[in-house]
Homo-oligomer: A and B are copies of this chain.
């Protein structure tokens, strides 16, 4: 079935997630009866989404068009690109998932955690071209903060569409080079549309090389007299390899702490990304058999996550590691916005325990971003030379800045498209237009629940978090329409009711009077009217007394006559 917004010769390109936000990336290329999906990520919720574990996309469009889906193509193995695959597979039939080396391993791990959903995962090769029908895809290697990151080339009858995935340019990478030749050849051949990563569009710079970081870490290691404790992102396997090399160079054994770090290093060693003499890694239980200057500890917790290894070390609750005088803790990471406070807390605690702490800064450069700054965005645009340009991956202002960079580097004004999730861009050889909007949106995951949390629940949580709640329970005898007993007043998160007995009694008395009066005015008990009166009464009264607005929860129990 043809997409209703598209003319027969038009190729439709749209995001179900990833525009106007950083996360839950999912892009679609549709042509006649074929549909290719690129990435299926999750988004980590901000502070406003209270209690939400993560956010996925609304898959309605894919569900309704599942017979057209040829494949899901994965650019790389980060959670905001693969994290939602199990949820997608619950709702939508995806015949094939194509992914690259490390991403294959990570997706398989993930599927094991969500049993009962089969996935047909196929590893794509760098120089492969996969032909579906009228659509085909090929790949080009990029630099990013996880190995095996690729840009996706979608070959359509109207021309070539390039999706960069997440990328940066690193001229001295610790892994393989980006494939400049392939990108340049695409540009030479002619690219109809470029979708390019905008995450760091506000950064007027060329992202520092991993080699710089690696040299800095090595430098720091030579100056450390005690143990070296390094926290970084587990998925940044190249970084872990650099830490291992710095340890070898300074005659240190490496002990690994934190579940995800242990798992990643196992995968990294298995797949050959991490290379080290056999006796480099030691059992974490053996660290005390070595002197301090012979030990490197690699661990999770670079974002101050409360349960991660480094956070427990800092809090003094780690079973095996206690900070000793002379320990140096290196953050080979930057705090993600929203995590600053918890990272800061961790650092303070480490200082208090006597550790020396080195964080990433323009002076230390113990970390570098995985995303292109403005100069790299320009290089990508110069190599690919697209006719049409659609910035992806980023909040609105990042997309907007990236679109200006596009025009600055040769995209014709009017050929740039800053879109929202769901907006369908219809392109042909000679034209591009926003043709319509397919269904898209955010679905919240909380515990086992998928999408059972809506905005009302979030709003309630917000209200509860600010002033708590007050419960007023009254019981009414149906026959006599009389109150039975006294109202019960209970609160949580409001004030200590025990210390405010007077207020509690006053509230109970007012509720009683209000309900009695209301009952007198009624011919028949209407629970909702009574509740409404209680809510209004208490909202006003409590605010006037305390300037707080706890959520008022009235419960009215009506007892039928014939009590046994």
A452 and chain B: residue at smallest CB distance: B495
- Residue A307 lies at the interface, judged by CB distance under 8 Å to chain B: no
A467 and chain B: residue at smallest CB distance: B51
CB of A559 within 8 A of CB of B400, answer: no
Q: Give the size range of A's interface with the partner.
A: 35 or more
A477 and chain B: residue at smallest CB distance: B563
Digit string of A517-560 for contact with B (CB within 8 Å is 1, else 0)? 00000000000000000000000000001111001010101111
A485 to B559, CA, bound (A): 6
CB of B488 within 8 A of CB of A555, answer: yes
- Residue A410 lies at the interface, judged by CB distance under 8 Å to chain B: no
A462 to B465, CA, bound (A): 6
- Residue A480 lies at the interface, judged by CB distance under 8 Å to chain B: yes
- Residue A453 lies at the interface, judged by CB distance under 8 Å to chain B: yes
CB of A484 within 8 A of CB of B397, answer: no
A446 and chain B: residue at smallest CB distance: B548
- Residue A447 lies at the interface, judged by CB distance under 8 Å to chain B: yes
CB of A51 within 8 A of CB of B466, answer: yes
CB of B490 within 8 A of CB of A547, answer: no
CB of A480 within 8 A of CB of B340, answer: no
Partner-binding segment picked from A192-200, A296-304, A347-355? A347-355
Question: A396 and B464 in contact (CB under 8 A), knowing A469-B492, A557-B473?
Answer: no
CB of A397 within 8 A of CB of B351, answer: yes
- Residue A460 lies at the interface, judged by CB distance under 8 Å to chain B: yes
- Residue A357 lies at the interface, judged by CB distance under 8 Å to chain B: yes
Chain B residues with CB under 8 Å of A204's CB are 361, 363
A46 to B20, CA, bound (A): 27
CB of B477 within 8 A of CB of A469, answer: no
A289-330 contacts to B, CB under 8 A, are: none
A453-490 contacts to B, CB under 8 A, are: 453-454, 456-458, 460-469, 471, 473, 475, 477, 480, 482, 484-485, 488, 490
- Residue A344 lies at the interface, judged by CB distance under 8 Å to chain B: yes
Question: A496 and B456 in contact (CB under 8 A), knowing A464-B468, A465-B51?
Answer: yes
CB of A564 within 8 A of CB of B495, answer: no
Chain B residues with CB under 8 Å of A548's CB are 51, 446-449
Chain A interface main SS type: mixed
Question: A347 and B397 in contact (CB under 8 A), knowing A464-B492, A465-B461, A559-B559?
Answer: yes
A492 to B496, CA, bound (A): 21
CB of B462 within 8 A of CB of A351, answer: no
Q: Interface centre among A363, A471, A488, A492, by most B CB within 10 Å?
A: A492
CB of B468 within 8 A of CB of A461, answer: yes
- Residue A50 lies at the interface, judged by CB distance under 8 Å to chain B: yes
CB of B337 within 8 A of CB of A341, answer: yes
CB of A447 within 8 A of CB of B341, answer: no
Question: A545 and B468 in contact (CB under 8 A), knowing A363-B204, A488-B555?
Answer: no
A453 to B449, CA, bound (A): 33
CB of A452 within 8 A of CB of B496, answer: yes
Selected contact of A341 from candidates B338, B466, B499, B560, CB within 8 Å: B338
CB of B337 within 8 A of CB of A344, answer: yes
A551 to B551, CA, bound (A): 14
A315 to B337, CA, bound (A): 22
Question: A482 and B564 in contact (CB under 8 A), knowing A475-B475, A496-B456?
Answer: yes
A42 to B444, CA, bound (A): 37
Chain B residues with CB under 8 Å of A555's CB are 471, 473, 488, 490, 555
Selected contact of A490 from candidates B447, B463, B484, B553, CB within 8 Å: B553
CB of B50 within 8 A of CB of A47, answer: no
Selected contact of A475 from candidates B400, B559, B564, CB within 8 Å: B559
CB of B453 within 8 A of CB of A495, answer: yes
Selected contact of A480 from candidates B456, B465, B563, CB within 8 Å: B563
Selected contact of A348 from candidates B395, B458, B473, B563, CB within 8 Å: B395
A542 and chain B: residue at smallest CB distance: B447
Digit string of A375-402 for contact with B (CB within 8 Å is 1, else 0)? 0000000000000000000011100100
Closest 8 CB pairs of A and B: A447-B547, A465-B465, A464-B464, A460-B493, A51-B466, A461-B493, A348-B396, A447-B548
Between A and B, 17 residue pairs with Cβ closer than 8 Å are A51-B468, A337-B344, A348-B395, A351-B397, A446-B467, A447-B547, A449-B495, A464-B468, A464-B493, A473-B473, A475-B557, A477-B563, A482-B564, A484-B559, A488-B557, A492-B551, A557-B557
